[in-house]
Structure formats: structure tokens, C-alpha cells
A and B are shown apart, each in its own frame.
Chain A
């Protein structure tokens, strides 16, 4: 079926000739046609910015055609962080899927988990059975996550425009939030904490107190960070009027999140299509009318303050109760506890399944190895992630594994705006525009 050709001198670069099926040729996109300048035109420079570049948010590749310092054409090249998460999930149980989706938009893991779990729960028809405490914890984790994600947007955006101290401050504050995640879920990122039916484990002792203190500290420190940049003449010079995209542009390109809200439209799924009980919280949707990078920056700061207000309300609403659905056919069977040798099943649970109830052992074994079945159908529940509308389109054929899980990741859609925002501007404005979109390539490429 295959022949290996050693005649070109490199034994490890043999060619493969397939004799059956469709032949797909993978070329390097349209680089050749872009790089080859038309006859008589030599003022144009083509810059291949990224995927290795300090300001492309990871591995975004931008192909810029420049005339002097002015960008004539901007194209995005994506796919450098493709990890096949969606495909992998088709070979794992519904619960294991959480561990995958949390790695997509790695700055907003709680949102990925929630979007996925809400869709799975809708398919299971158990949306009304999620315990109140689980919902409050979910909201609290998401809002803390929104703060940490916006802080990174601020920090990396600052760094890309040369504000080094803003970068360090942003990451320093984010660390406070990650400490909470570590305390609650055991992991700083990718915590797989939110599960179909509730959350993985209850808040540990002292967590509420720590969150309360952190919120106070964050409010104080957010002021420091925004003092550095808000009304800073150089910062405004770099961002005001830069990356302009008005409501029409946002609508045409499917842009959501802070970019959309910076046009003045108060569109936020927490208000317009509430989930996880958001209708019970008192908060505002901050908007700006400037449609530019500075407006998005101000909007993110305002959103962080709103998120902290929601976290405060969550803490007040936390009452003791179950954190997982009562249905034992869905709830994860283990009862985790922290022992001398680390986290694991609680001694009582092991005692019960190993020596008291054979049915409990079988139940545990079946759920852990095979997982629960989800009725056939499809569901899509969008939520408001820090970057915009995030939703998981989940399709089941009735088995213990998803037939297909597809994420509508806002970073991916928002990246479409790069050309509209930056063509005709200077090369430095491209950086500011992309930073104001705040794309996370993990979410774009998945």
C-alpha cells in the first residue's frame, strides 16, 4: 500500500503513495500567493506575525501585509493549538468529558465545565434537580473565574503595549483567585470541578472565609491596577479609537462579550437567558459606547467589580445542603475526603462498598467504569463566559458516551473581527486590537 522513497537523500523524509481512497494534499495555506508580490509592487512587506511572537496570545498567527507601518491586509491563521479535545470526548464517559472541556479555554475553565454540564443536564432532564448549593457554588466559581480571566486580559494586554507593571499586577491578583480554586477543587486550573449533576466536592472548611477576605483584597488591588492605566495619556493614546468595531460589525461577525458591550448594547446571557439561578442575583451589565479598545478595557474593569458583587451575594446565599444531585444513577458514587495520604474516597464509603453492600459496590463499579447513559437527543445551553457566548452543543445517541460535543467558543468567533478592526491602522494597533479581543487560543483551536 505504501512505498518509501529514499532517493531524495533523506531516509526519514520518504514519500508515501496511497493507491486507494481520496488523496488529501495538505499545503501551507495561501502563504505562497500572499508572499509573492505582484509585478512592479515592491513597497509591500508581508509579515508573518506568529505563531511564535510575544504578543499573539499564545499561538495566533497573523499574516500582515504592510505598506510602511500601515496594515493593508490582516489575516488570522489558527490551528496551532489544536488538541482534538472534541474528538477525544467521543471516547470517554459523560463525566470524564468535564476533564477535557476544562482544558479548552484555559483561562476560563469553570465556564467550559458549566457550559458542558448544563447541556448534559438538559439532555438528562435534571435541570430542576440540581441542588441550590451546587448552583450557588457554580455561580461563585464562575464569577471568580471571570475576574481571573479579565485580569489576564488586562495583564497581557498591558504587557503587549509595554506596561510591564500592569502585567505583574494582573497576574499577582489572578494568583489570589487561583489560590481559591486550589483550595476548593485541588487544582489551580483545569480543575474539573463542576460535574453533571452538581459539583465534585463541597467547599472545604475555611473556604468561605478565605473567599470573603480575597474579595475585599481584590477590590482594593483592582483599584491599584486600574489607577495605573485608566486616564493614562499614553495608554489612552494607544487604545482610544483603536480596533473600532461598531454594533453593526459585531452583529455581522457574531461578536459577543466585552467587545459587543463596548458598543453600548447591554447583551449578557446572564440577564437575557439566565442559567444557574443568575436571575436571583442583583448586578448590572456595564457598557461603553466608544466601540474601541479603551472601551473594552474599561468594560472589563467594570465587569470585574460586578463579578465581585455577585460573589458577595453568593456567599450570603450559601446554606448547607447537598452539592450533588440526589439521583444515585447520575451522582458520582465516591465520597471524597482528605486523609493522611491525600485526597481519596472516604473510609466510610470504602467500608460500605467493600464489606456491607454488594449492590453499592456494583453500582460504584458500573458508574465509575462505564458511566451513566444519557437519553438520545441534542442540547445547546449558552452561557456568558468572560469572552462572550460560550455553549456546548452536545449530541447523544443514548449511550454512555457523547456522539458529538461541539463548543461554540467566543474566542473563535471574536477572532473574525481582527481584519475588520486592524486593516488600515498601524502595526502597533493590530497588537492593541487583538489584545482587546482577548482571544484564548486553547479555546479557538480546541
Chain B
């Protein structure tokens, strides 16, 4: 890794660092307010509703007002809470959420007050790992919140979030590996620079899909919102939180959404690089314009988050873990294996891209045939089960088979008993409406 490309980082004057930090902080808070409003509006439209449209133009100030309201709410701390930890948990969550943004690039080098500086707070050779590390620290907030509340739902929510984030961080980290292999760097600005002709989302599509899936799990958003599954755990880890502390969790959740979206844009969609038709314009990737492309890409992912929430039910905890460990992680590993092999063949043995593509096509064909054969086998199994069921129906009906008398199902007949025939005749002989035959009527207790 060449040190020269980091020339601009670490050389900013002190006021520039403060300026950038404050600007990022401000942008994240505003983006959070905007995202909350945007989510509510989009979900509303998807559900034939209107959504907040009263406060400010088109309801834009709604989330600001909600924030004020939240801050002025009474703060209730449960008696059984571990107060110090209970206090520190939301702080950890919110702080970590802000910190991760330090290495996200918004644009190329620009001139601010005569100083040439990149639109990025800082960067270093392992900055993507830094984002992963900070995300892990953020989880402590959720875990500690769940543990310190001294209540059952938060405890379960905290436990779930620990397991969830650990599992999905592995899948997330593995999805980065192919990017690192191709970019030859773990620094965000270098990775963007390497996507100049073509985005990694195109060449590393499986990595991209795995990342997009695991980022939803990482941020605890629907359909993976198990730590705060309101249908089961009321509010999960933040059940016992109120007022400003709750607001901090809320803020952290939305900033995390922006962070993972920004990371996805950086690693797979070329960061601040202009998308294709615009990139034909010469000055698309210089000056302040790239911030707009970056913002659009981030919004694309945020829209996807909202769309998912409006469409899908929540997964069950064990299914979710199974999905992470048995599908995402093995798929990630297999993909890394393929990418690494292909690179070795190309770089060390001088295979051409064409030969590699042919090899890839052969592998895919083998996989397809294999899955087709598996399908046939499972169909046969299904057919065997069906015929077994039909066999079961042929067995004479036993009303007491389950230990409690049951009526015959359609197609089954009760075994012949002479008493039933007699009973049926005697019932038919009485002229009683059918609904009455088992209930007493017209008795006269007090007549």
C-alpha cells in the first residue's frame, strides 16, 4: 500500500478538522430528521395513507418537533435498573454511530477557504476495518441497555442483538474481502479510486448482495428487527427507555442506517463517483458535485430499507440465525474462494479473462444441473410422502386413535355398530329441529 495516496490526510489545519467534524455531525443529524420523515411518507404512500404533512412544508419539520417532544418527556428509570450502565448505554450507541462516519468520503479534493482538502474527515490504510470495529462497539450500547434495564423484554432483546450483530458482522466482513482483493486496499478513498471504470457492485455482484442483506441485519431493521420486535418483545432493548435516552437510540438507529448505506455506496457503487450517463460529463467528478451523487446513492439504499419494511413480515429468531450462518456466511466463503482462485489464475498463471469466464460458465452449469437433480430427488420424496398419506386413509377409521374420540374426516367412515343404527332411528323418529338434538329446550323451571 503506497503511503503517497494518503498525502492529503493528516495535513489539514486544526480549524479544518473541526469544521469537517462539525459539518459531518450536522449533516448526520439533519439526515436523520430527514430520513425519519422520508420513511414515514414513503411507507404511508405504500399503504394508501398520506403520512405527516402538517408541520412545516410537506411535514418536513415533523421529526424535529417529535424530537423536541421526546426531549421534554418525563424520564422514567426502572427501580431495578443498573443506573450507571443504564445511563452509559445510549451514549455508547449514539457516539459509535457518529464515529463511524469519520472515514466515509463524500467527494474529491476541493478547496475550502483556500486550503486544498478531500471531502472526508480522515482516512487510513484500514479504514473499512475501523467502520466494522466501531459498529461492534455500537452493539455494546444495545447489549448493555438490555442487560441494565432489569426487565425481561430488554434482556431478551439485548441477547438477540448480541447474537444477531456478531453473526451478521461476520457475513458483512466476509463480503468486504472480495472488494479488498480487487481494490488492493482497505482505505475508503483508495477503494473508490479503484472503481473508476466499473463499480464493484457489477463485478462482485454476490459480495454486493451479501453485504446489502447483512447490512439490514446489522442495523436491526425490518425484516431483521428482532432485537426490538415490537410484536414479541414490545420494544426489545429500549423498552424501558424514555425521553432523551430513547431519542439517542432512535438517533443511533437512523445514523447507522445512513452509515451502512454510505459504506455500501463507497464499497460497491463507486462512492461519490458520478453514475454512468452523468459520468460522461467532464466535470462530473470534480468540485462539489460529487456530494450530490453520493447523497443520491445513499438515498437509494435508504429507500430500499423503507421498501423492505413496508413489504416483509419479520423473521423468526432461529430462522434469521440459520439464514446468516448457513446461507450468507458459506456463500460468502465460497465466493471469496472463487474470486481468489480466479485472481491467482489470472495473475500467476496468465490465464486470460475469457478463459476464466468459460471456466465460470462450466462451474455454473454444473451447479445448475446439480440443483436440478436435487430438485428431482426432493420431488420424489414428496411423492412418497403423498402416497404414504393416501395409504393411511385406506386404514379403517379409528375414532380413538389419538386418545380422544374424533369424528370421521371426509372419506372416512365410522365402523359399523348396531347401536348407532338404533340411535339414528330413534333420533329420526323424534321431530326435533336439528340444532336441538343435544340441548334441553322448552323446560319450564318456574312455570
A: residues with CB less than 8 A from B are: 45-48, 53-55, 66, 69, 122-123, 158-166, 168-169, 172, 228-229, 232, 234-235, 237-238, 246-249, 251-252, 264-267, 269, 272-275, 376-382, 395, 397-398, 403, 426-429, 431
Known A-B contacts A378-B441, A397-B446; A427 and B156 likewise in contact (beta carbons under 8 Å): yes
Q: Which of B35-74 contact A (CB under 8 A)?
A: 43, 46-49
Across the interface, B231 reaches (CB within 8 A) one of A159, A248, A264, namely: A159
Complex contact B315–A248 (CB within 8 A)? no
Q: How far is the CA of A237 from the CA of B317 in the complex (A)?
A: 11
Interface string of B419-447 (1 = CB under 8 A from A): 00000000000000011000111111111
Across the interface, B314 reaches (CB within 8 A) one of A47, A161, A247, namely: A161
Complex contact B409–A265 (CB within 8 A)? yes
Complex contact B312–A54 (CB within 8 A)? no
Q: B417 on the interface (CB 8 Å rule)?
A: no
Known A-B contacts A55-B232, A69-B156, A169-B47; A265 and B407 likewise in contact (beta carbons under 8 Å): yes
Q: B116 on the interface (CB 8 Å rule)?
A: no
Q: How far is the CA of A382 from the CA of B433 in the complex (A)?
A: 12
Complex contact A165–B440 (CB within 8 A)? no
Q: How far is the CA of A275 from the CA of B435 in the complex (A)?
A: 8
Complex contact B318–A426 (CB within 8 A)? yes
Across the interface, B316 reaches (CB within 8 A) one of A165, A380, A381, A426, namely: A426
Known A-B contacts A54-B234, A159-B231, A252-B404; A395 and B434 likewise in contact (beta carbons under 8 Å): no
Nearest 9 A/B pairs, CB to CB: A162-B314, A248-B402, A163-B313, A168-B47, A273-B435, A160-B231, A252-B404, A397-B446, A376-B447
Q: Which residues does chain A contribute within 8 Å of B447, judged by CB atoms?
A: 376-377, 398
Q: B309 on the interface (CB 8 Å rule)?
A: yes
Across the interface, B406 reaches (CB within 8 A) one of A248, A380, A427, namely: A248
Q: Which of B384-433 contact A (CB under 8 A)?
A: 401-407, 409-410
Q: Which segment, of B21-29, B96-104, B222-230, faces chain A?
A: B222-230
B161 to chain A, nearest CB (A): 13
Q: Which residues does chain B contribute within 8 Å of A376, judged by CB atoms?
A: 444-447
Interface of B is mostly: loop
Q: Which residues does chain B contribute within 8 Å of A122, judged by CB atoms?
A: 441
* Residues of B in contact, count (CB < 8 Å): 48
Q: Which residue of B lies closest to A264 (CB)?
A: B409
Complex contact B435–A382 (CB within 8 A)? yes
Known A-B contacts A237-B316, A251-B407; A377 and B47 likewise in contact (beta carbons under 8 Å): no
B103 to chain A, nearest CB (A): 33
Q: How far is the CA of A164 from the CA of B440 in the complex (A)?
A: 47
Complex contact B231–A162 (CB within 8 A)? yes
Q: How far is the CA of A237 from the CA of B225 in the complex (A)?
A: 16
Across the interface, A165 reaches (CB within 8 A) one of B310, B409, B434, namely: B310
Q: How far is the CA of A311 from the CA of B444 in the complex (A)?
A: 39
A332 to chain B, nearest CB (A): 25
Complex contact A264–B410 (CB within 8 A)? yes
Count how many pairs of residues, one from A and one from B, have CB atoms less than 8 Å apart in the complex: 144
Complex contact B232–A428 (CB within 8 A)? yes
Known A-B contacts A69-B156, A427-B156; A54 and B230 likewise in contact (beta carbons under 8 Å): yes
Q: How far is the CA of A376 from the CA of B441 in the complex (A)?
A: 10
B404 to chain A, nearest CB (A): 4
Q: Which residues does chain A contribute within 8 Å of B315, judged by CB atoms?
A: 234, 237-238
Q: Which residue of B lies closest to A123 (CB)?
A: B442
Q: Which residues does chain A contribute within 8 Å of B405, judged by CB atoms?
A: 251
Across the interface, B402 reaches (CB within 8 A) one of A232, A234, A247, namely: A247
Known A-B contacts A165-B46, A248-B403; A428 and B313 likewise in contact (beta carbons under 8 Å): no
Q: How far is the CA of A228 from the CA of B229 in the complex (A)?
A: 20
Complex contact A380–B439 (CB within 8 A)? yes
| Residue of B232, B311, B313, B317 most packed against chain A (CB within 10 A) | B313
Cross-chain pairs A/B with CB under 8 angstroms, 18 sampled: A45-B152, A45-B156, A54-B234, A69-B317, A122-B441, A161-B313, A162-B312, A163-B312, A164-B310, A165-B46, A234-B223, A269-B435, A275-B435, A378-B442, A379-B442, A397-B445, A427-B156, A428-B231
B223 to chain A, nearest CB (A): 6
Complex contact B406–A428 (CB within 8 A)? no
Q: How far is the CA of A168 from the CA of B309 in the complex (A)?
A: 13
Across the interface, A53 reaches (CB within 8 A) one of B234, B318, B404, namely: B234
Complex contact A168–B313 (CB within 8 A)? no
Q: Which residues does chain B contribute within 8 Å of A272, judged by CB atoms?
A: 434
Q: B354 on the interface (CB 8 Å rule)?
A: no
Q: B319 on the interface (CB 8 Å rule)?
A: yes
Q: Which residues does chain A contribute within 8 Å of B46, judged by CB atoms?
A: 165
Complex contact A235–B313 (CB within 8 A)? yes
Q: How far is the CA of A398 from the CA of B443 in the complex (A)?
A: 11
Across the interface, A377 reaches (CB within 8 A) one of B401, B409, B444, namely: B444
Q: B208 on the interface (CB 8 Å rule)?
A: no
Known contacts A161-B313, A377-B441, A428-B316; 17 further A-B pairs (Cβ under 8 A): A45-B156, A54-B231, A162-B222, A162-B231, A162-B313, A163-B312, A164-B47, A228-B311, A249-B402, A251-B405, A265-B406, A265-B409, A267-B407, A377-B445, A380-B439, A381-B435, A398-B446
Complex contact B435–A428 (CB within 8 A)? no
Known A-B contacts A161-B231, A162-B312, A172-B48; A251 and B404 likewise in contact (beta carbons under 8 Å): yes
Q: How far is the CA of A159 from the CA of B406 in the complex (A)?
A: 34
Q: Which residue of B lies closest to A163 (CB)?
A: B313
Q: Which residues does chain B contribute within 8 Å of A172, judged by CB atoms?
A: 48
Q: Which residue of B lies closest to A53 (CB)?
A: B234
Q: Which residue of A lies closest to B152 (CB)?
A: A47
Complex contact B440–A378 (CB within 8 A)? yes
Q: B153 on the interface (CB 8 Å rule)?
A: yes
B92 to chain A, nearest CB (A): 25
Q: How far is the CA of A52 from the CA of B286 in the complex (A)?
A: 56
Q: How far is the CA of A193 from the CA of B442 in the complex (A)?
A: 26
Across the interface, A395 reaches (CB within 8 A) one of B153, B317, B445, namely: B445
Q: Which residues does chain A contribute within 8 Å of B401, judged by CB atoms?
A: 248
Q: Which residues does chain B contribute within 8 Å of A161, judged by CB atoms?
A: 231, 313-314
B132 to chain A, nearest CB (A): 27
A217 to chain B, nearest CB (A): 13
A162 to chain B, nearest CB (A): 3
Across the interface, A238 reaches (CB within 8 A) one of B43, B49, B316, B445, namely: B316
A227 to chain B, nearest CB (A): 11
Q: How far is the CA of A135 from the CA of B431 in the complex (A)?
A: 23
Complex contact A164–B232 (CB within 8 A)? no
Q: Which residue of A lies closest to B440 (CB)?
A: A378
Q: Which residues does chain B contribute within 8 Å of A380, judged by CB atoms?
A: 439, 441
Complex contact B446–A431 (CB within 8 A)? no
